[in-house]
Amino acid sequence: MIPREKHDRMANAIRFLSMDAVEKAKSGHPGLPMGAADIATVLFTKFMTFDPKRPEWPNRDRFVLSAGHGSMLIYSLLYLLGYEDITLEEIKNFRQLGYKTAGHPEYGHAAGIETTTGPLGQGLANAVGMAIAERKLADEFGSDLIDHHTYVLAGDGCLMEGISQEAIALAGHLKLNKLVVFWDNNGISIDGSVSLSDSTDQVARFQASGWNTIEVDGHDPDAVADAIVAAKSSDRPTMIACETTIGYGAPNKAGTAKAHGSPLGADEISGVRDTLDWPHEPFEIPSDVLDCWRLAGLRSTKEHKAWEDRVEATGAERRAAFTRRMAGELPGGFETAMDEYKKKLAADKPTLATRKASEAALQVINGIVPETIGGSADLTGSNNTKTEHTDAITPDDFSGRYIHYGIREHGMAAAMNGIALHGGLIPYSGGFLIFSDYCRPSIRLAAIMGIRVIHVLTHDSIGLGEDGPTHQPVEHLASLRAMPNLLMFRPADATETAECWQLALESEARPSGIALTRQNLPAVRTSYIEDNMCAFGAYDLVPASDADVTIFASGSEVEIALETCKKIEASGYTARVVSVPCFELFEEQSDEYKQAILGHSPVKIAIEAGVRQGWDRFIGNDGIFIGMSTFGASAPYKDLYSHFGITADVAFEAVEAKLNNLAGQAA
């Protein structure tokens, strides 16, 4: 038991570091760290299992600060506990360029930051993914190797965001009993009292979603500790509603929105020093308090050692598999298996919808890569994401490899981020490309963090047909291509689909989206090529030197490009076809390669059943674009392609007109 006075001084160290750092930076959020300091002190001094000297220890407890604006809470903790990445110098340079102490916690900046938070609600949903990963790996490797908790600190804002409902519903359903959420229930957000905009009974909401709930005074360390003990023995995830005062200790601003997101000011800070009896200079932590924190930083050393001994005592095969998986390396034999599969495709030349081709590729992948964990947002039969290796995970049985995420795209994508961040698993999902809008914030965070999550995005154009414009993506490829560090693939046939899958899996430090068709497509790659051609981003499918016309196309429109090419050739001109499965990978090629692909044809044309945006890179401002400029319509897909003029005839006419025009000019 830590005596109350000692606890208070330790918590106050968080409060003063936080308010002083915000004051020096002239920006930031002092209120949350000051209000949640007691909860954090109890958690990190009595419960969390972690090792500041080995922050990547796979079996550490995870702590997610979902209310990322309170970042000084986590920076203070990491400094006080002795994490090397966060020095006092870092704290003094909070929110400054080149320092790890960014405005919101960013994964990869400093060890101990488990995920990037800032967009409210995301951290909570990431934590659900981490808890899923823990349970799955414990099932697979045994609790001697993986057995830890995931703790979250969420604010009112996190709980107001819609994503929180998707996340807690999934966690409640899966009975993720090693997930513990502290709700920093301070009743204040930016505009003022939470009651201005919300009157939800949060405790009842969590209970209705299958959670265990406990209500405590968040400034009573014993009550908080008792609640955590109770949470740890629950058979369900637990939400601990902690009543707190934002800006605790500030004589005038505590309990008000004034403490939320701006420096308290010199007078108020001086008042806090009096109120909390802290006669120390800014950034000065008395040595007895720092000692206590550093001691807390050592609390799991023995446990860590015992875990290492258990790993050592594990059979060589299991140890090697565990180590490989946690390092994120693909298994030996993966490349060979994909290569063999490509040979088979070259021989079979199947006509397939690329969503079916993706299923076939996954059949190979899931057989050889045991760390893939699939799923779908209730579109399994449409996304074709389930294979014979992936039985469903159920609340009572995590031996499967498939998550029925329910109709929760946003929660799914955020949970996948958490699974990837946990390590040991590669999550892939299923959804309609149109509904990437519903998970875009999480995909964006995956791109910022540089993590391997793979989104299978089917029904990728008007080619889906009768479901109509609400379901037909038009601007989605362009908008996803606009996102830095996301690989957006659009394969044209079964071979390209296999290649794109391979690239997505091999891209350890970025997320991928794979856009796939509902409609059947013929094989456009008809002979075996050892190289992964999709790795070039764009490549010659039908080469021709000094071609009069170059046709660029992606996915389902490559077939139309090939037909157009034939028509052009028949009319006496030369044409080449460039397949463009991935804009981003194309940009990463050498200048020579890019120049060669772009070429010098007098006529350039791009065909894609989406908007033009982005294609001028290939065809120039004066190129011909055959695609969409409006929303789609509800009809059988072939009728739609005719109606919107995405056909070889229309493409050929446009090319012919331009060629005639050029010839006229030359004459």
Catalytically active residues are 409
CA atoms within 13 A on the CB side of 569: 13
CA atoms within 13 A on the CB side of 260: 17
Task: Tell me: does residue 119 bind ligand TPP (CB under 6 A).
Answer: yes
Task: Considering the complex, state which of residue 157 and residue 555 has its C-beta at the smaller distance from ligand TPP.
Answer: 157
Task: Considering the complex, state which of residue 22 and residue 345 has its C-beta at the smaller distance from ligand TPP.
Answer: 22
Task: Considering the complex, state which of residue 115 and residue 186 has its C-beta at the smaller distance from ligand TPP.
Answer: 186
Task: Considering the complex, state which of residue 70 and residue 431 has its C-beta at the smaller distance from ligand TPP.
Answer: 70
Give the max Cα distance, the chain.
96
Measure Cα distances from 348 to 336, 337, 449, 458 in Å: 18, 16, 40, 23
What residue ranges in 226-300 does DSSP mark as E strands?
238-243
Write down the residue that tokens 């990963």 correspond to. Answer: 133
Q: How many residues line the site for ligand TPP (CB under 6 A)?
A: 21
Task: Considering the complex, state which of residue 219 and residue 481 has its C-beta at the smaller distance from ligand TPP.
Answer: 219
Give min distance, CB of 380 to ligand TPP, in A: 29
If phi over 0 gives left and psi between -120 and 50 gives alpha, with beta otherwise, what is residue 614? Answer: left
Write down the residue that tokens 């154009």 correspond to. Answer: 461
Strand-strand pairing, 192-193 and 188-189: antiparallel
Task: Tell me: does residue 106 bind ligand TPP (CB under 6 A).
Answer: no
Task: Tell me: does residue 118 bind ligand TPP (CB under 6 A).
Answer: yes
The binder of ligand TPP chosen from 81, 110, 146, 246 (CB under 6 A):
246
CA 393 – CA 425 distance, rounded (Å): 14
Of 62-70, 292-300, 472-480, 607-615, which part binds ligand TPP (CB under 6 A)?
62-70
Give min distance, CB of 238 to ligand TPP, in A: 19
Chain residue whose CB lies nearest ligand TPP: 155
Give min distance, CB of 432 to ligand TPP, in A: 23
Cβ neighbours, 10 Å, residue 304: 17
Task: Tell me: does residue 33 bind ligand TPP (CB under 6 A).
Answer: no
Give min distance, CB of 250 to ligand TPP, in A: 13
Give min distance, CB of 574 to ligand TPP, in A: 53
What residue ranges in 54-105 does DSSP mark as E strands?
62-65
Task: Considering the complex, state which of residue 143 and residue 200 has its C-beta at the smaller distance from ligand TPP.
Answer: 200
Write down the residue that tokens 């403490």 correspond to. Answer: 259
Give min distance, CB of 253 to ligand TPP, in A: 12
Structure tokens belonging to residue 69: 């604006």
Task: Tell me: does residue 445 bind ligand TPP (CB under 6 A).
Answer: no
Q: Please list the residues that pair with 397 across neighbouring strands.
A: 394
CB contact at 8 A, 408 and 418:
no
Contact letters (x/-) for ligand TPP, 254-293, by CB under 6 A? ------x---------------------------------
Window 522 to 551, contacts with ligand TPP (CB under 6 A): none
- Alpha helix stretches (DSSP H) within 233-333: 266-275, 287-297, 301-313, 316-327
Instruction: Give 631-644 as a DSSP string.
Output: ---SS-HHHHHHHT
Give min distance, CB of 244 to ligand TPP, in A: 8
Task: Tell me: does residue 156 bind ligand TPP (CB under 6 A).
Answer: yes
Task: Tell me: does residue 155 bind ligand TPP (CB under 6 A).
Answer: yes
Task: Tell me: does residue 411 bind ligand TPP (CB under 6 A).
Answer: no
Task: Tell me: does residue 189 bind ligand TPP (CB under 6 A).
Answer: yes
The binder of ligand TPP chosen from 22, 34, 188, 541 (CB under 6 A):
188
Contact letters (x/-) for ligand TPP, 337-376, by CB under 6 A? ----------------------------------------
CB contact at 8 A, 354 and 536:
no
CA 653 – CA 663 distance, rounded (Å): 15
Task: Considering the complex, state which of residue 36 and residue 326 has its C-beta at the smaller distance from ligand TPP.
Answer: 36
User: Residue 118: which of 485, 454, 442, 409 has the closest Cα?
Assistant: 442
Task: Tell me: does residue 20 bind ligand TPP (CB under 6 A).
Answer: no
Task: Considering the complex, state which of residue 36 and residue 603 has its C-beta at the smaller distance from ligand TPP.
Answer: 36
CA atoms within 13 A on the CB side of 289: 24
Measure Cα distances from 343 to 39, 333, 539, 580 in Å: 58, 15, 19, 21
Give min distance, CB of 42 to ligand TPP, in A: 18
> For residue 293, how far is the Cα from the chain centroid?
33
Angle between helices 71-81 and 4-25 (to 10 degrees): 120
The binder of ligand TPP chosen from 161, 409, 559, 563 (CB under 6 A):
161
The binder of ligand TPP chosen from 13, 19, 32, 239 (CB under 6 A):
32
Q: What is the CA radius of gyration of the chain?
A: 28
Task: Tell me: does residue 69 bind ligand TPP (CB under 6 A).
Answer: yes
Task: Considering the complex, state which of residue 27 and residue 661 has its C-beta at the smaller distance from ligand TPP.
Answer: 27
Task: Tell me: does residue 80 bind ligand TPP (CB under 6 A).
Answer: no
Task: Tell me: does residue 67 bind ligand TPP (CB under 6 A).
Answer: yes
Window 167 to 186, contacts with ligand TPP (CB under 6 A): 184, 186
Give min distance, CB of 148 to ligand TPP, in A: 26
CA 124 – CA 136 distance, rounded (Å): 19
Window 466 to 485, contacts with ligand TPP (CB under 6 A): none
CA 578 – CA 572 distance, rounded (Å): 20
CB contact at 8 A, 94 and 33:
no
User: Residue 375: which of 327, 430, 452 has the closest Cα?
Assistant: 430
CA 23 – CA 421 distance, rounded (Å): 32
Structure tokens belonging to residue 224: 């908080």
Give min distance, CB of 139 to ligand TPP, in A: 33
Task: Considering the complex, state which of residue 155 and residue 210 has its C-beta at the smaller distance from ligand TPP.
Answer: 155
Task: Considering the complex, state which of residue 261 and residue 265 has its C-beta at the smaller distance from ligand TPP.
Answer: 261
Instruction: Give 27-59 as a DSSP string.
Output: -S--HHHHHHHHHHHHIIIII----TTSTT-TT
Give min distance, CB of 249 to ligand TPP, in A: 15
Residues near ligand TPP (CB under 6 A): 29, 31-32, 67, 69-70, 118-120, 155-158, 161, 184, 186, 188-190, 246, 260
